[in-house]
Amino acid sequence: MQIDWIRTEAPGGRPVYQQIADAVRAAIASQRLADGARLPTIRQLARQLGVHRDTVATAYEALAAEGVVESAVGRGTFVSARSPSPGAGAAPSFHPTLAPLVERLLDFERARPRFGSSPDAVALHALVPDPSLYPAEAFRRALNRALARGGPELLLYGSPQGDPGLRELLARRMREAALPVDPDELVLCHGASQGIALALRLFCGPGDAVALEEPTYNNALGAALALGLRAAPVPMRGDGVDLERLEQTLARPEVKAFYTIPTFHNPMGTTTDLDHRRALLEVAHRAGVPVIEDGYEMDLRFEGAPVPPLAGIDASGMVVHLFSFSKSLFPGARVGAISARGRLREALLALKQASDLSDALPLQVALAEFVSSGEYDRHLLRLRRVLRARRDALCDALAERMPEWARWTRPEGGYQVWLELFGEIDTHDLLADAVAAGVLFAPGSQFYHDGRPSSAMRLSFAMADEEALRRGVARLSEVVANRLRDGTPVATRVPV
């Protein structure tokens, strides 16, 4: 079906997805599309218009939310039989004009993969702890004890800095992990995600740049974009971020901070050694650029000796360290911590007060009860055993099923493996075939600031058990093999 009634060059700078949705509404109003008419598939329309599939998908989603179209799994998208008629008496649609920064953030979010799939699909895409491993009953008891002890005062606003009891416990645990910190140097927050945003706001204003490892955590890219910051990417190597390129990047006057994940890197799963960490700090010191260290999985080491965090090595106070319970316990706790000293701590408290007044005090006090009772450490022991077995199952399956030229990381902790296929395979384009085959993964493009094509993917062993991991890799290997049979070239030499 040729759809020459859509033009993506409409004036006014409206986002392309809105232009597509407007054109569909206009075609319905002029009866060029009748009730019940089938719209082109997302892939067909994207190819015809020369736009990304996610742009068309967003337009269809907006139309479905208005009741203009209906989607049926396996059948397609159709004009609703009850589609609003723009005739007399119909209320005009409101199309808000958003701030340019928000429009850019929406474009970033639309580029994220959509993972609609069958119920038996193997989930290798999500970095979310397996709900079957949550210590829900033990935490319920801790919450009940906290509420019984705290009474109604626990339901008031808390301090912006967070519960003193939990800060005391966290400081003790961090000291044991080679990060000397006092309870007063910790500011509690809504997980590491809010911690990233607060830490960026400490050093950067709209128009500034933040240095980031690439690939890197995609929500860190989103947080920077939401604050009006520019990404200054620094490539990752096998042993960590490229230090020579980092020095060049930090020398740029617009770069105000460096965000890094030295332990169980997301998405790569790698951990830098002590020498690399010391060299990184020397580079940052020479440039006078503060470092934001994301230690979101620091409690999830299941193999090898721990490496001191950057904040534990640095004596100057230039490293802001982030901690979170979201991966080691469950994300619904929404509790994390930022460690910072002196004036940085005062600035964090001011930002926290201006952002949300305080966190959920009952959850913080319940977490303090949960940690002090020993339940958290018992949970970690069980979780680490499970994660090591899953890591082994995933890596063994990759060794058995993947082409001999493929390469992947073998993490010592955390949840993720970085699989590199090389050549001209774009894993974002591979995703649709994988979803159809019943396996999900996170394509490498979503971990780059510009969404560039990538032949890599992040595979998570957070949600799938050992049997499911083997099944998922078998399905994924077939998808890769089919793509290669279709003639997609691969690298003749594996990069080092």
With a cut of 80, say whether residue 114 has pLDDT above it: no
Residue written as token pair 């970033």: 108
Residue 9 included in any domain: no
Q: What is the pLDDT of residue 116?
A: 63
Contact indicator for 186, 167 with CB cutoff of 8 Å: yes
Residue 214 included in any domain: yes
Residue type (1 letter), 495: P
Query: Average model confidence (pLDDT) for the chain?
Result: 89
Lowest mean pLDDT among 65-74, 287-296, 412-421, 475-484: 65-74
Q: Are residues 294 and 406 in the same domain?
A: no
Q: What is the pLDDT of residue 37?
A: 85
Lowest mean pLDDT among 85-99, 234-248, 354-368: 85-99
Which residue, of 355, 373, 391, is where some domain finishes? 373
d(CA 68, CA 86): 11
Q: What is the pLDDT of residue 493?
A: 36
Residue 209 included in any domain: yes
Which residue, of 358, 373, 388, is where some domain finishes? 373
Q: What is the pLDDT of residue 91?
A: 56
Q: Are residues 167 and 63 in the same domain?
A: no
What's the CATH number where 318 sits? 3.40.640.10
Residue 492 included in any domain: no
What's the CATH number where 394 sits? 3.90.1150.10
Mean pLDDT in residue range 54-62: 80
b/e code 463-482 from CB counts within 10 Å (16+ = b) = bbbbebbbbbbebbbebbee
Q: What is the pLDDT of residue 115?
A: 65
Report which of 330, 298, 344, 305 is spatially closest to residue 179, judged by C-alpha positions.
Answer: 298
Q: Are residues 366 and 477 in the same domain?
A: no
Residue 495 included in any domain: no
Q: Are residues 259 and 156 in the same domain?
A: yes
User: What 8-state DSSP symbol labels residue 32?
Assistant: S
Cβ-in-10-Å burial (0-12, 13-18, 19+) of 65 comes to exposed
d(CA 386, CA 391): 9
Contact indicator for 475, 437 with CB cutoff of 8 Å: yes
With a cut of 80, say whether residue 84 has pLDDT above it: no
Q: Are residues 329 and 462 in the same domain?
A: no
Mean pLDDT in residue range 302-322: 96
With a cut of 70, say whether residue 5 has pLDDT above it: no
Half-sphere exposure of 60 (CA within 13 A, CB side): 20
Q: What is the pLDDT of residue 283?
A: 98
Mean pLDDT in residue range 83-102: 65
Query: How does pLDDT run across 334-376, given as a tens digit for each residue?
Result: 999 999 988 999 999 999 999 888 888 999 999 999 999 999 9
- What percentage of the chain has pLDDT greater than the value 90? 66
Q: Are residues 314 and 328 in the same domain?
A: yes
d(CA 59, CA 55): 6
Mean pLDDT in residue range 405-429: 94
d(CA 153, CA 156): 5
Q: Are residues 60 and 140 in the same domain?
A: no
Q: Are residues 304 and 395 in the same domain?
A: no
Which residue, of 325, 348, 373, is where some domain finishes? 373
Token couple for 30: 């002029």
With a cut of 50, say whether residue 11 has pLDDT above it: no
Strand order in the sheet with 291-294: 186-189, 336-339, 319-324, 291-294, 255-260, 209-214, 230-237, 240-241
d(CA 18, CA 62): 8
Contact indicator for 277, 307 with CB cutoff of 8 Å: yes
Q: Are residues 417 and 460 in the same domain?
A: yes
With a cut of 80, say whether residue 7 has pLDDT above it: no
Q: What is the pLDDT of residue 495?
A: 39
Q: Are residues 177 and 246 in the same domain?
A: yes
Residue 104 included in any domain: no
* Single pTM value for the model: 0.83
Residue 54 included in any domain: yes
- What percentage of the chain has pLDDT greater than the value 70? 91
Count of domains for the chain = 3
Report which of 25, 20, 26, 68 is spatially closest to residue 48, judged by C-alpha positions.
Answer: 20
Q: Which domain holds residue 52?
A: 16-97
Q: What is the pLDDT of residue 74?
A: 56
Higher per-residue pLDDT: 453 or 489: 453
Ranked by mean pLDDT, which of 12-16, 150-154, 187-191, 258-262 comes out on top?
258-262
Query: How does pLDDT run across 273-293, given as a tens digit for each residue?
Result: 999 999 999 999 999 999 999
Report which of 9, 231, 7, 6 is spatially closest to residue 108, judged by C-alpha positions.
Answer: 231
Query: CB neighbours (10 Å) of residue 114?
Result: 15
What's the CATH number where 48 sits? 1.10.10.10
Q: How far apart are the first and last CA of the chain?
A: 47
CA angle 386–445–228, rounded 5-degree value:
105
Q: Are residues 242 and 350 in the same domain?
A: yes
Mean pLDDT in residue range 158-183: 95
Long-range contacts of 69-74 (CB under 8 A, 24+ apart): 69/24, 69/39
DSSP string, 250-280: HTSTTEEEEEE--SS-TTT-----HHHHHHH
Q: What is the pLDDT of residue 129?
A: 94
Query: How does pLDDT run across 463-481, given as a tens digit for each residue?
Result: 999 999 999 999 999 999 9
Residue 262 included in any domain: yes
Q: Are residues 416 and 362 in the same domain?
A: no
